[in-house]
Amino acid sequence: MRYTMRTFIITLLATVIGFVSLPAHSEQTVRLAASNWPPYVDTSLPDKGFIYEIVKEAYESQGYRPVIQILPWYQAIELDKRHNDGAFPDYEPYDEQGVVCSKPIFGGPVGLYKRKDSPLRWLTKDPAQNQEQAFRALRQYRFGIVDGYLNTQAFDNADYLKKSIVDNDYQNLKQLANKQVDFAMTDIFTAEYLMEKHKPELDNIVFMGPSLENKKIYVCFSKNAKNYQAKINALNTGLDHLTETGQLDDIVRKYNF
């Protein structure tokens, strides 16, 4: 009888300790959605792209287990619906929209592409500084964009422009190459990567400088996520660690940036 009681107490203690330990373990997992946005995230690249690798390594350096699901962009941003804590790669939203973002991880310039045989050009001086005036001067032309993407605020607010909406960056450049639009608004690093990947199909398009804005890339978290601030802090600390140790530069160089 004494042996049975002792065994029961030990078993009970083990069970209690196990339950006490569960929350601490679960808090070390962060669930993220990533959209396929080359070259930042791309399932065809080693380690799935350099932003993917940076986020993963930053969290692991802080003892977190990142669970990252790659989804189409429109699904990746449905954080609460899909029970994810955050999404990346993302530009900081123009307004708060119930999310809060990490420190910037990287930056990419955005601007217009046109066909090489096109005589079109900017019609105003310094279009990056006065974008509304610059776009109004081009309002008779057609612009390709990707559904749901933030570009520049002046462009996104320009409801007087004719915009052809597609699902991804490749389709956007393809509709430009095929003369379905006159310009494509895109991240320049993305465009150059896709132009190289899809030679010779996209050989007839070219960047029309200058770049309009250097957009910073973040991981953005839902404010409804459990312990979202702790998860942001862990990521930010991990990014600092990768920077200080030189690991971040090593990852970026691996992808020829």
Q: Where are the chain's structural domains?
A: 29-107+217-254, 108-215
Identify the CATH assignment for 29-107+217-254 out of 3.40.190.10, 3.40.50.10490, 3.20.20.60, 1.20.1740.10: 3.40.190.10
d(CA 185, CA 187): 7
CATH superfamily of domain region 108-215: Periplasmic binding protein-like II (3.40.190.10)
pTM: 0.81
Residues 165-171 have a mean pLDDT of 95
User: Which whole-number Å values give the CA distances from 84 to 71, 228, 238, in the listed order?
Assistant: 12, 11, 20
Q: Tell me which residue of 70, 4, 73, 63 sits closest to 32, measured CA to CA.
A: 70
pLDDT band at 148 (very low <50, low <70, confident <90, very high): confident
Q: Mean pLDDT over all residues of the chain?
A: 87
| pLDDT at 52 exceeding the cut of 50 | yes
Instruction: Convert the pLDDT of each residue in 173-182 to its tens digit.
Output: 999 999 999 9
